[in-house]
Every structure is written in structure tokens, then in C-alpha cells.
Amino acid sequence: MLFDPHFIARLIPALLQGAEVTVELAILTFAICLIWGLIVALANSSRGPLSWIAGAYIQIVRNTPLLIQLYIVYFGLSMIGFGLSGFASGLLALCIQNGGYMAEIYRGGLQAVSLRQYEAGRALGMRRWTLYRTVIIPQVVARIIPPMTNQTISIIKDTSQVAAIAVMEMMKVAQVWVESSANTYDVFLGVAIIYLVLTSVASLGGKLFERRLAFAQ
């Protein structure tokens, strides 16, 4: 358990470079899945074959490990000729998985805002679009912030699995450094601290957002 300042001085920039990739992956996944998850959720709540496909999609991605999904995208796609880079495969796999999870979050939020709100609005003579815009959607947004925050933290942590397909995000960088030096403890400490910072920022961001919305209402 050494504490070698020279080592740390060289380690930190390398870790931060990896963290950059981690953050890139996380932000892109989050942004894409906000939309993709909504699409899946809408498809799921519609009627007809689309609903069945969306439902099956959600169940499949929720009940298979991310790692297997990563391997299928990275190795499987290249096998049939659609080879993607590590980063792109990672992004695709993360989006596929989190799209399913976010769709469930949207569904939960929509269900929670009670039918009565809809009925009350209609009774007041509101037209459907106004009703959705001023009553339903603000409440749904407020309700999904906590699970969305949790999902963001989940996404940040899941990016670490992309190390398995040799993408130089933070976990992979750490692996390389551990294998080439004896300072395992310092590397661990550095990685742990940076991840904690990232997840704490996400968590605080979510809470701030919640509070701002509470005032706006």
C-alpha cells in the first residue's frame, strides 16, 4: 500500500483522459436514450403489433446482461460485416439497454399521474393538448426525475464494462496501469474517487433539478 507522489502525478492525467471517454459515453447514452426511451415507451403503450414488439424489446434487454449485449454488438456485428469500433459498439449497446430501462421509467411516470387529473382537466373544459402540456406533463416530469437520476448513475457505472472490448475509458486505463505497475492500491483509490465524483455530480444534479421544478410549480 504505497503512496508514491510521482506515480500519482503520472497516473492522474491518464485516469482523467479515461474519465473523459467515460463521461462522453455516459452523456451521449443519456441524451440518446431520453429520446429513444420515449419512443419505445410510446410504442409500448400504443395498441397493435408495435406494442408487442416494444414490450418484447424491453423484456429482452432487461433480462440479459449488458456484457453479453456488448459482445453481441461488438463481435457479432463485425462477424456479419457491420463492424463497429469499440466506442461505437459500446455506445450502441448502452443505448439499446438503457432505452429499455428508460421506457419503463416513462411508463411508471405516466401511470403514476392519476387518471383523475386527466378527468379533472377535461371536466374543466381543457382541450387535450393544453391538458397534457400544463397538467400532465409537468407532473410526469417531476415524478420521473428520481428514477432518471438513478438511471444516470447506473449509466456512468455501466460504462466501465466497455473496458471488456478494449475501449480506453477509465476502467480500461486503470487495468492497463495496474498490470504494468505494482501500485494497485493507488490506482484503485484514484479510480474510485473519480467515479464517486462523477456519480455524486449526477446525483446532486438530479436533486437540484427536482428542487427547481418544485418551485416552478
Partner 1 sequence: MKEFAPLLHGYWYLFRGAGMTLLMAATAVVPATLGGVLLALLQMFGNRFARSAVVAYLFVIRGIPLLVLLTFTYYLLPLTGIDLPPFWGVVVVLACYYAAFMSEVFRAGMLSLPRAQWDAARSLGMTRRLMLQIVIFPQALRLASPPFVSLCVSLVKATSLVSIVGLWELTMASREIVERTLAPFQIFLGAAAIYFCICYTLALYGKHLERRVLGGH
Chain residues that interact with partner 1, rule: CB under 8 A:
1, 59-60, 62-69, 71-72, 75-76, 79-80, 153, 157-161, 163-164, 171, 174-175, 178, 184-185, 187-188, 191-192, 195-196, 199-200
* Choice between 143 and 157, CB closer to partner 1: 157
Q: How far is the CB of 85 from partner 1 (least distance, A)?
A: 16
* Choice between 43 and 194, CB closer to partner 1: 194
* Choice between 131 and 149, CB closer to partner 1: 149
* Whole-number CA gyration radius for the chain: 21
CA 162 to chain centre: 13
Residues in the chain: 217
Q: How far is the CB of 156 from partner 1 (least distance, A)?
A: 8
Q: How far is the CB of 74 from partner 1 (least distance, A)?
A: 8
* Choice between 132 and 150, CB closer to partner 1: 150
Q: How far is the CB of 192 from partner 1 (least distance, A)?
A: 5
CA 76 to chain centre: 23
